[in-house]
Structure 1
Amino acid sequence: MTDSSDTTAALHQPPSPLEDPSSPLSRIARQPMMLGLFLPTQTGAFSQSTYPRDTRWDFEYNRELTLKAEAHGLDFAFGLQQWVKKGGFGGETNYRENFLDPFISTIALAPLTTRLVTISTVHVLYGSLHPLYLARFAATADHIAQGRFGLNIVTGYDAREPLMFGMQRIEHDERYARADEFASIMEDLWAGEEDLTFHGRWYDLESAYVSPRPVHGRPIMVSASASAAGFAYAADHSDIVFTSSRSGAPYADAMRSIPTITKEIDEAYDRTGRQHKTIIFPMVICKETREEAYAYRDAITARADTASIVNYDARHRAGDAQGWPEHVPSDRVLGGHVQIIGSPTDVADQLEGLHEAGIDGAQLGFYDYGPELDFFAEAVLPILEARGLRIPDPIVSNPREAVAAMTAVSSTEPVLVRAEHDGPITTVTLSNPERANALTYGAMQQFIEGLRAAHSNRSLLLIIRAEGDDFTVGRDQKEKVPGVTKAQSLGLILEANALLRGFPGISVSVIRGRALGFGSGISVQSDLSIAADTATLGFDEVRHGLAPLVVAEYLPPLIGPRATADLIYTGRDVSASEALAIGLVSRVVPEADLEAEARGLCDSLVAGEPGALRLMKSYSARLRAGGIADPQAAAVAELDTWLSAGRPAFPDVPENPAAR
């Protein structure tokens, strides 16, 4: 039990999702330039113009945009929070009168997606919101989203919004001091070390506790900051800093201040030694040519909703935000913290300029969201990929026909792989026995999601098994998915391999019948593999006219170069006994005893010390990768640390290199 007075120093702080290489945040943070979508969940979105467009604020429209963003390979979707009176900011559009709550909206969107991170904005100081409430709400949301949920903590700069909650606006720097205490309490509750009794300057708790634990230590934490106090708060609590331009929205103007801002953010994080990413909100106007883009910009600004702009500007001037001192009312017609206008090459140039200025990501806004997001994905993303600013996602492709094809595959594919959770065990079952569990494009996606679920649930044991007479005959070599290239399809194997090898618990594959190609890959990359004595394994890609180059990379360290050469050059079948001899499986049992033996093995593992198993897994992986300079000294030090910490179930260990 923690009992503190006027200090947060004694509170526990769980690890950031950025410290967990298997977390969704770590995955998207590997992008040189993260890209997300600033959702238009409010009337008028971010542009105060009456020029015709189809952008809408309703949930159905935002659902379609979110699914489209994921299909295009974007990384996150972001929801804005604001409190407005009846009629919003008025004008012809009643700008922002209708406003979906971002917390509820992003939670509702999360289960509809499989990869996208959803981020909600919450005013933590308005009314009587208590950190215990938000800690449980966010932990629940984090589980719903399987670790893909983020909180953008804001303190409220507007003079009028607090009045709606029966309070006056709190002084600027004091707001961040209160937010620090609020966030510190939530973090202690997420860590769950013990019941929390805390008596701070602003919040009191008595024997408080929150369960379940967030999936990757805590939810993703974001803060919208532009001041020294805001950056100091972020450096203590946030994984992502959402900042702005101090020097106006037009790109050339914005670039006068952005390098200085990112330097200030970096210096704040240098003082705490924590990792972070910095993002900004560009409004993108992109057409085939620069001339068309500026003509479109002019058409939008010519229809400015002047009355709403005047009202919005009055709100802004009454606030005490330090993020937009040189922004002017005319910037509001298009909107955005920085405005990027031009041809696809121009837009790519300007995004690259932001990256060079220290920006790690952009949450994109558009005037007419649907078609302009499609055009951005079709025309700009390939340029960013060619420049190394984006790493192509092996599961998605940018052209429109590929997005449509993948959407169709995911929506029409039957359940070919099941993932089931039972306490510390996740079981992934290949369930297409009529086709010998051949792995189609859709089945591979489902298999990957099953592996991700095992990571997200922090399972101790991952069991991979199959229905029917065969484990799997490998990838469906005859399948052709319209709009999906061979490289993208093969990329699924890379992701599955990384998830399997990087699983921090113990993986067990249960092999009967044929386990060919990728099936043998699953077997040999699992920590333990138990096979029936009638099983047949082998890497048969060469017999299908393919060169198994991926196998040639990972197999030699596992079974040796000569055995690898024999298998991949000939593509021959291997009996269970030979597979055991060369290391493709770890145990062979009579076929009639396979299920009973597998259950016994798994029961014995679960009955063991979970922290010891995870510690051994991490140490062994790093040892094989050559990542330990002095293995004996490291073994003694890590064991001592673990024992001194009370044998935690989740040891504090370095990153597993296989998860990269």
Structure 2
Amino acid sequence: MSDDTVENAGTNAGTARLERRGAVAILTLDAPKTRNAVTDPPVLNPLIAALEEVRDDRSVRVLVVTGAGKAFSAGGNIHDIRDRRGMFGGPADQVRNAYRAGVQRIPRAMADLEIPVIAAVNGPAYGAGCDLVFMCDLRIAGESARISSNFVKLGLISGDGGLWFLTRVAGPAVAAEMAFTGRAVGGAEAAALGLVSRVVPDAELMPTALALAEEIAANPPEAVRMTKRMLQQAGRVDLSTMLDMAAALQGICHAGEESRLAIAAAMKPVS
């Protein structure tokens, strides 16, 4: 796909860029000097604005999240953490409120998205950057990817709910090992552990992520949104509740025009 197919989606100020390729949106964390630290307001605020824009735009069918430069995201700004500046400074109750008003806005905004989100992990994803990876529905890693829930190495915990997402993706045993050791997992090991669906050469990362996004975006959009809702509930509710939900959503599908058109297209003779 050529660069001239890229359209600005309107949220390009600051250090998170939102672009469009047809029905696919690309959200790029763009603060290479801090390795895309998501706790910095110049990254955090446009990131949240971009997620809200995608949430409200029904023409967007898939979102791809990646980082500019050599890192996906270093997570927290290590200099601010060391110096206890910004959201990391002050008494415990002040830090607690800063987390709620700051970095915890990311998982809430991600949870509000009804569309599939793909993480294209282009390098180190540490701390809150690792958490952002696991907030996404699908993950593709470049060969240079390094994923680490490294909070314990800094005497900290995941303050943005990352262990909730990590445990759901990795399972309790792998999540515990990653959280207790804080060690980094490379792309190949991440694929072997099921943390990412595939690992590809760095040069092929975005083309691979965009090809997957376009494959998903080609499907009827409301069915995809409902499928994501069902996947989110899997493991959270009992079977009876899941079956009730499936029946209700399937009723909407069967009665809708989207399904009728999709079935008619599928039944056309192949020339």
TM-score bracket for this pair, using the shorter chain length: 0.7 to 0.9
Tell me which residue corresponds to 1:501: 111
* TM-aligned CA distance change 1:488 to 1:583, over 3 Å: farther
Tell me which residue corresponds to 2:196: 585
Match of 2:29 among 421, 430, 451: 430
Counterpart of 1:500, as a letter, is M
* TM-aligned CA distance change 1:604 to 1:445, over 3 Å: same
Which 5+ residue runs of structure 2 have no aligned equivalent?
Answer: 1-9, 260-271
* TM-aligned CA distance change 1:627 to 1:614, over 3 Å: farther
Contact 2:37–2:129 under 8 Å retained in 1: no
Once the two structures are aligned, what percentage of the paired residues are identical?
25
Tell me which residue corresponds to 1:468: 69
Tell me which residue corresponds to 2:264: none
Tell me which residue corresponds to 1:531: 141
Counterpart of 1:557, as a letter, is R
Tell me which residue corresponds to 2:205: 594
Partners of 1:582 and 1:515 in 2: CA distance: 16
Contact 2:27–2:64 under 8 Å retained in 1: yes
Partners of 2:192 and 2:149 in 1: CA distance: 16
Contact 2:38–2:103 under 8 Å retained in 1: no
Tell me which residue corresponds to 2:182: 571
* TM-aligned CA distance change 1:517 to 1:504, over 3 Å: same
Counterpart of 1:585, as a letter, is V
Residue deviations 1:11-51, cap 9 Å, x none? xxxxxxxxxxxxxxxxxxxxxxxxxxxxxxxxxxxxxxxxx
Contact 1:474–1:517 under 8 Å retained in 2: yes
Q: CA deviation at 1:472?
A: 1.0
Counterpart of 1:498, as a letter, is R
Contact 2:121–2:141 under 8 Å retained in 1: yes
Q: CA deviation at 1:556?
A: 1.9
1:609 aligns with 2:208: no
SS of residue paired to 2:157: coil
| Structure 2 counterparts to residues 380-399 of structure 1, below 5 A | none
TM-score in terms of structure 1 length: 0.34
Higher helix residue share: 2
Q: CA deviation at 1:576?
A: 0.9
Tell me which residue corresponds to 2:49: 449
SS of residue paired to 2:36: coil
Question: Which gives a bigger RCO, structure 1 or 2 (Cα 8 Å, sep 6+)?
Answer: 2
Tell me which residue corresponds to 1:141: none
| Structure 2 counterparts to residues 542-557 of structure 1, below 5 A | 542-548=152-158, 550-557=161-168
* TM-aligned CA distance change 1:591 to 1:639, over 3 Å: same
Tell me which residue corresponds to 1:420: 19
* TM-aligned CA distance change 1:490 to 1:586, over 3 Å: farther
SS of residue paired to 1:629: helix
Counterpart of 2:86, as a letter, is V
Tell me which residue corresponds to 1:481: 86
Partners of 1:516 and 1:468 in 2: CA distance: 15
Partners of 2:97 and 2:191 in 1: CA distance: 33
Partners of 1:598 and 1:632 in 2: CA distance: 32
Partners of 1:488 and 1:584 in 2: CA distance: 31
1:510 aligns with 2:115: no
Alignment RMSD: 2.5
Counterpart of 1:522, as a letter, is L
Contact 1:622–1:628 under 8 Å retained in 2: no
SS of residue paired to 2:117: strand
| Structure 2 counterparts to residues 11-30 of structure 1, below 5 A | none
Q: CA deviation at 1:636?
A: 4.0
1:647 aligns with 2:268: no
Deviates more, 1:431-440 or 1:532-541: 431-440
Partners of 1:634 and 1:538 in 2: CA distance: 36
Residue deviations 1:108-163, cap 9 Å, x none? xxxxxxxxxxxxxxxxxxxxxxxxxxxxxxxxxxxx9x9xxxxxxxxxxxxxxxxx
